[in-house]
Amino acid sequence: MMNWMPQPFWKRTGLAAALVLLSSCSILPKETLEVYQLPPTSITIATAADRLPLTLHISKADSSRVTDSQRVLILNKDNRVSAYKSARWSDPPPVLLRNHISSAFRADGRLGLVSDNNPNLARDLELSGDLGAFHVEYAEGMPVAVIRLYAVLAQTSRNRSIAARDFESRQPVKGKGMPEVVAAFGKGADQIAREIIDWTLQNGSAVQAGQEDMAASASGTNAPKEKPGGETDAAPP
């Protein structure tokens, strides 16, 4: 018959300590992430007289692996990249900016159609680019929201680029909290969107004029020529 022997004291106390440790781990507070979107665009509808019957597709801009992150980045003076703790963007900055520019174009209303999620749709113009900066810098000790985009506008029917330009916004952060940081990025995105809209429409007008000239030339190729006195040269039977 086996005699029962009590467990050594150190085993019993060790087991109790382990149970306490496990229970304490289960109630430790977890880090809470705050997820932010860009504010809605402040751009409003333009006059209908400036409307162009062109279609535009806006592609997501290329970027570095660092910029293509949902962290809210800070570029320090020593070129070291850090991020705001517990804060994230709802999407990577190339997607945030693409969506914001698309919304601004639609709010402006001067183009016939603006798409951003179906590259297979027929379109007259394609807007793409490279997002070089979407971070906070410090200028004279004050935080500044920096957005820098190199944009390329292409005429898809002729498979050629018709314009390219750098756009940059530097908006001061008017406060110390994340809402103020996000508000500064929203103002910067609106500034870039407004400039891109005007730039696109300027180049789009030239494209539209060229298309109209080509259509007029094509329709006038076989048209009878008018002689003085109102007579025309009739086509031979």
* Cα–Cα distance for residue pair 237/226, rounded to 1 Å: 18
Q: What do you get for the CA distance between the two ends of the chain, in Å?
A: 127
Which CATH number describes the domain made up of 53-214? 3.40.50.10610
- pLDDT tens-digit readout, 54-111: 999 999 999 999 999 999 999 999 999 999 999 999 999 999 999 999 999 999 999 9
In whole numbers, what is the pLDDT of the chain averaged over residues? Answer: 83
Domain borders along the chain are 53-214
Highest mean pLDDT (candidates 17-26, 80-89, 204-213): 80-89
Tens of pLDDT, residue by residue over 113-168, are 999 988 777 889 999 999 999 999 999 899 999 999 999 999 988 889 999 999 99
Across 200-208, average pLDDT:
90
CA distance 215 to 47: 26
User: What's the confidence (pLDDT) of residue 14?
Assistant: 52
Residue 31 has pLDDT above 90, yes or no: no
